[in-house]
Amino acid sequence: MIPRPYHLFLGDVADEPHAKTAFGIRDWLPDEAVGQARLPGCGVDLGLDELTPAEAVARGARSMLIGVAPVGGQLPPAWVPSLLAALEAGLDLVSGLHTRLADIPELAAAAARLDRRLHDVRRPDREFPVASGRKRSGKRLLTVGTDCALGKKYAALAIARALRAAGIAADFRATGQTGIMIAGQGVAIDAVVADFIAGAAETLSPDAADDHWDVIEGQGALFHPAYAGVTLGLLHGSQPDALVLCHDPLRTTVSAYPDYPLPSLATAMERYVEAARLTNPAARFVGVSFNTSRMQPQAAADLMAQVEAEHGLPCFDPLRSDLGALVERVRAL
Amino acid sequence: MIPRPYHLFLGDVADEPHAKTAFGIRDWLPDEAVGQARLPGCGVDLGLDELTPAEAVARGARSMLIGVAPVGGQLPPAWVPSLLAALEAGLDLVSGLHTRLADIPELAAAAARLDRRLHDVRRPDREFPVASGRKRSGKRLLTVGTDCALGKKYAALAIARALRAAGIAADFRATGQTGIMIAGQGVAIDAVVADFIAGAAETLSPDAADDHWDVIEGQGALFHPAYAGVTLGLLHGSQPDALVLCHDPLRTTVSAYPDYPLPSLATAMERYVEAARLTNPAARFVGVSFNTSRMQPQAAADLMAQVEAEHGLPCFDPLRSDLGALVERVRAL
pLDDT at B123 over 90: no
- pLDDT tens by residue, B141-186: 999 999 998 999 999 999 999 999 999 999 999 999 999 999 999 9
Distance CA A200, CA A333 (A): 26
Tell if the CB–CB gap between A236 and B229 is shorter than 8 Å: yes
- Which residues in A lie closer than 8 A to residue B229 (C-beta atoms)? 194, 197-198, 229-234, 236
Residue A175's pLDDT band (boundaries 50, 70, 90)? very high
| pLDDT value of residue B107 | 97
Q: Nearest-CA distance from B328 to chain A in Å?
A: 30
pLDDT, tens digit, for every residue of A48-63?
A: 999 999 999 999 999 9
Has residue A265 got a pLDDT over 90?
yes
Task: Give A226's contacts in chain B (Cβ within 8 Å).
Answer: 130-133, 195, 198-199, 236
Which CATH number among 3.50.50.60, 2.40.40.20, 3.40.720.10, 3.40.50.720 corresponds to the domain B6-120? 3.40.50.720
Written out in words, the top-level CATH class of the domain with range A139-331 is: alpha beta
Spell out which residues of chain A touch residue B226, defining contact as CB-CB under 8 Å: 130-133, 195, 198-199, 236
A-B Cβ pairs (cutoff 8 Å, strict): 114
Segments of chain A assigned to CATH 3.40.50.300: 139-331
- Do B191 and A191 make contact, defined as CB atoms within 8 angstroms? no
Mean pLDDT of B97-104: 90
pLDDT band at B210 (very low <50, low <70, confident <90, very high): very high
Å between B304 CA and nearest CA of chain A = 28
Q: What is the mean pLDDT of residues A267-290?
A: 98
Residue A73 predicted with pLDDT over 80: no
Give the pLDDT confidence of B72-100 residue by residue, as tens digits: 778 999 999 999 999 999 999 999 988 89
Q: Please answer yes or no on whether A229 and B233 come within 8 Å at the CB atom.
A: yes
Chain B positions contacting chain A at CB under 8 Å are 130-133, 189-195, 197-199, 223, 225-234, 236, 254, 257, 259-260, 271, 274-275, 278-279
The pLDDT tens digits for B237-283 are 999 999 999 999 999 999 999 999 999 999 999 999 999 999 999 99
B44 in Cβ contact with B70 (< 8 Å):
no
Q: How far apart are CA A16 and CA A47, in angstroms?
A: 13
Helix (H) or strand (E) holding A111: helix A105-114
- Alpha-carbon distance values, A89 to A33, A53, A117 (Å): 17, 6, 13
pLDDT band at residue A70 using 50, 70 and 90 as cut-offs: confident
Residues of chain B with CATH 3.40.50.720: 6-120
At B189, the pLDDT band (50, 70, 90 cuts) reads very high
CB A41 within 8 A of CB A70: no
Residue A71 has pLDDT above 80, yes or no: no
Kindly state the helix (H) or strand (E) to which residue A215 belongs, with its residue range.
Answer: strand A213-216
Alpha carbons within 13 angstroms on the beta-carbon side of residue B85 total 14
A20 band by pLDDT with thresholds 50, 70 and 90: confident
> According to the model, what pLDDT value does residue A125 have?
78
**The whole model's pTM is what?**
0.94
CATH 3.40.50.300 domain span(s) along chain B: 139-332
Q: In what order do the strands lie in the sheet with B6-11?
A: B33-38, B6-11, B63-66, B92-95, B118-120
Nearest CA in chain B to A256: B132
Q: What value of ipTM does the predicted structure carry?
A: 0.93
Per-residue pLDDT, A184? 92
Q: Which range (A29-43, A68-82, A98-112, B216-230) has the least confidence?
A: A68-82
How much of chain B exceeds pLDDT 70, in percent?
100
Q: Residue A198, SS3?
A: helix
The CATH architecture assigned to B139-332 reads 3-Layer(aba) Sandwich (3.40)
* pLDDT tens digits, one per residue of A204-240: 999 999 999 999 999 999 999 999 999 999 999 999 9
Task: Tell if the CB–CB gap between A190 and B194 is shorter than 8 Å.
Answer: yes
Are the beta carbons of B229 and A197 separated by less than 8 Å? yes
Please state the three-class secondary structure of chain B as a single string: CCCCCEEEEEECCCCHHHHHHHHHHHHHCHHHEEEEEECCCCCCCCCCCECCHHHHHHCCCCEEEECCCCCCCCCCHHHHHHHHHHHHHCCEEEECCCCCHHHCHHHHHHHHHHCCCEEECCCCCCCCCCCCCCCCCCEEEEEEECCCCCCHHHHHHHHHHHHHHCCCCEEEECCCHHHHHHHCCCCCHHHCEHHHHHHHHHHHCCCCCCCCEEEECCCCCCCCCCCHHHHHHHHHHHCCCEEEEEECCCCCEECCEEEEECCCHHHHHHHHHHHHCCCCCCCEEEEEEECCCCCCHHHHHHHHHHHHHHHCCCEECCCCCCCHHHHHHHHHC
On chain A, the residues whose CB falls within 8 A of the CB of B233 are: 194, 228-230
Instruction: Kindly report, residue by residue over B3-27, the tens digit of the pLDDT.
Output: 999 999 999 998 888 898 999 999 9
State mean pLDDT over B286-297. 95
A99 pLDDT band, cuts 50/70/90, is: confident
